[in-house]
Every structure is written in C-alpha cells, then in structure tokens.
Amino acid sequence: MTAPTPRLGFCCTFIPDEPPGGYPTRKAEREAVQAMNLTSTTMTHLAGLAPAARRAKLDTIARHNLVALGRQIAWVAARPPAERLLRIVSSLLPGFTHPVARDLYAEPALRRLIADGLRRLGEQARAGGVRLSMHPGQFCLIASRSPSAQENGIAELEYHAEAMAMLGYGGGWHPHGAHINIHVGGREPGIDGFRAGLALISETARNLLTVENDETCHGLDAVLRLSDAVPVVLDLHHHWIESGGDYIEPDDPRIARIRESWRGVRPVSHVSVSREDVLADHDPAVLPDFAALSRAGHSGRDLSAHSDLMWNAGINALVARHLAWTDFEVEAKGKNRASTALAAWIAAAA
C-alpha cells in the first residue's frame, strides 16, 4: 500500500497575491480579497432588519460563501499534493444556531440552496484530494460549569457537524480525514467533564470530533487522557508554551499514543511560531529558547501570539520531521502565504 502524501495547508482566510505593479485601486484590492473569502454579519445587524430583508441578507451571504469556498478549494486543489489541506472558516453559515437566523436556515429554499451547494463543494474537494477541517471558536465547549454555555457549545458543535455532513463527511469515522477540532475548555469540569460531554453529542459530531492540547489549562499529557475516546491534535506551539520550552520529537512515546487515537486515519497537527516583531533580533536558524526568552523578559502571552510567516528554520525542520506521521495546519497570520512558503522550504531542504 502506498503511504499517503504528507500535507500541510492554511486556515480559513485567503490572501491573494498582488498583481504585477500592484492593485490599481483600493477598491480593486478589496474586491480581490472578497472574491476569495467568506463573509459574515452580526446578529445585531440581522435582528434590525425586516423579515424579508433578513431573509435576503442570509441568502446573499450563503450564495457568496458557497462561491468563495469553491474558489478556495479550487486554489488548494491546484497546488502540489503536499499542500492540499484547508481549514474552513466557522462563519460559513453565520448565525446558524442563533434565534435570529436559525428558522430562516430551515426554510426549504435556503436549505436546498445550501445543501446542494455544500454537496457539490465536498465532491469538488474529494476530487481534488483536498483534506478539509473546521475549528470552532474557544466558546464551543461540550463541558462547562454553566449549563447554558454547555448547551450553546454543543449547538455550535452540531452546526459544524451538520455543515460537514452536507459537504459529504457525515458517515463513519473521520471520512477522508475530515474533522472538527475543539479545546477541552476551562480547568473545571476539565478532562472528566469533556469525557462526559461526549455522550451528549450526536454520532456524526463524535465521529468528526478531535481535541487539541492548549497552552494554559490542558497540555498534551492531560489531553492524552482522552486518546481512547477522541483523536488528539498535537499543537507544537501550544506544547512549547505550556511545557516551558519542550520541542517534542517524532520518537517521543506520546506520538505513538496520538497516532493510535486516530484509529487508522492520518493525524493532523498544528504549528505556529512566535511573532517576528516579538523576536525581531532572533537568529532565524536557531530554535527559540523559551527559558532564555523568559529570562529576557518575554511573557508567555507575548510568545504565544502567532507570527505572519514561518520564519524560523529550526521549527520548519521540526515540522518536516513530523510530516512522516502527521499533516499540518499552519496557524500563521500570513495564511496561504505562510503555508506555501513552508512547503517550499521543506521541499528545498529535502
């Protein structure tokens, strides 16, 4: 059996290349960005509209987002196989669970538009070998000390699962590597509460769910306690912060446990690096030393913020070593510019 091609890609937002000579106007630049990116609206704005205008607004957003996502998938599918990975922005269907909008999404015409559009986009992604994921925001919790926060978090997760199902990823265990990644949440109810929360979500959501280590409450060792129930997403940067400077290598025994948690599906991991302006004088050929940087006055908060590009060769080389077993989502502000540059760096270093 041929080993799967290692893949890396960007998250949510696409940054177009400027045409030769630059954009002729600011308007032309905005239009180029808008054409490749999904849009949204606030629920406050939506609530202020008359019912017909509200319905029209959601219809317009849905149509735009289906077209823009199709353009993103097409762009990724045209990249080399090692770059065919895309995280879809959570605002694909803005307000899907909100009382202001959810009844409108249930209306047959809008529902049919969205379902047909997402079905075609899923087929497009699979035909192009593009691995898709989603990553709800920090408030998407399946365990919370607040019943309302838990209820809202589960509803948000189920929205993502429904969107993935409409894309064609609703059957079985992480089909085609698709997944919805979340965090454990606060210290309480913590790991045990998260495990209990798994019983409260749909089978589709459970089969798509993954959980990642964070940099404050639940590091890698804590999240691995869930590895029997849900696949673990390794975030290298979060681990570096939470551990006080550990660069985990592929031969670390914990990597085997992460791989096993995916049950035969190729894992996905996350990578980022501290911001360029925070480490402006740092040698890009040398791995950042957390202890030394802390002694120099850099706070964990400063070091945790993501850079524009993957500027550090040591971290890039670490990613290259880990690609033997996992794909990567590049969490950099430079989005596709960061992921394509990292792919080029890895190819040149091979």
47 domain residue, yes or no: yes
Instruction: Assess if residue 260 is contained within a domain.
Output: no
pLDDT tens digits, 80-103: 999 999 999 999 999 999 999 999
Does a structural domain hold residue 67?
Answer: yes
Would you state the structure tokens that stand for residue 316, as one six-digit string?
């890039």
Q: Give me the mean pLDDT over the 292-312 stretch.
A: 95
Q: Where are the beta strands (DSSP E) in the chain?
A: 8-11, 85-88, 131-134, 179-183, 209-212, 232-235, 268-271, 327-330
- Confirm whether 344 is domain-assigned: no
Residue 2 has pLDDT above 60, yes or no: no
In this prediction, residue 305 has a pLDDT band, given cuts at 50, 70 and 90, of very high
2 or 234, higher pLDDT: 234
**Model confidence at 15: pLDDT above 70:** yes
Q: Mean pLDDT in the chain?
A: 96
What does the pLDDT average to over 149-156? 95
Q: Go through the chain and tell me how many residues it has.
A: 350
For residue 225, is pLDDT > 70? yes
Domain assignment present for 50: yes
Question: How many independent structural domains does the chain possess?
Answer: 1
DSSP state of 166: I
Query: How confident is the model over 18-63, as pLDDT tens digits?
Result: 999 999 999 999 999 999 999 999 999 999 999 999 999 999 999 9
pLDDT above 70 covers a percentage of the chain that reads 99
DSSP assignment, residue 213? -
Within a domain: 218: no
Which pLDDT tens digit goes with each residue over 60-78?
999 999 999 999 999 999 9
Give this prediction's pTM. Answer: 0.96
Nearest to 310 by CA among 269, 346, 281, 257: 346
pLDDT band for 3, please (50, 70, 90 cuts).
low
Q: Is residue 43 part of a domain?
A: yes
> Is 288 inside a domain boundary?
no
Report the percentage of the chain scoring pLDDT > 90.
96
Stretch 312-327: mean pLDDT: 98
Q: Which pLDDT does position 1 carry in this prediction?
A: 45
Give the residue numbers spanning the domain of 96. 38-133
Residues 331, 336, 340, 346, Cα dihedral to 10°: 0
- Report pLDDT digits (tens) over 114-148: 999 999 999 999 999 999 999 998 889 999 999 99
Separation CA 211–CA 205 (nearest Å): 12
Nearest to 129 by CA among 89, 86, 189: 86
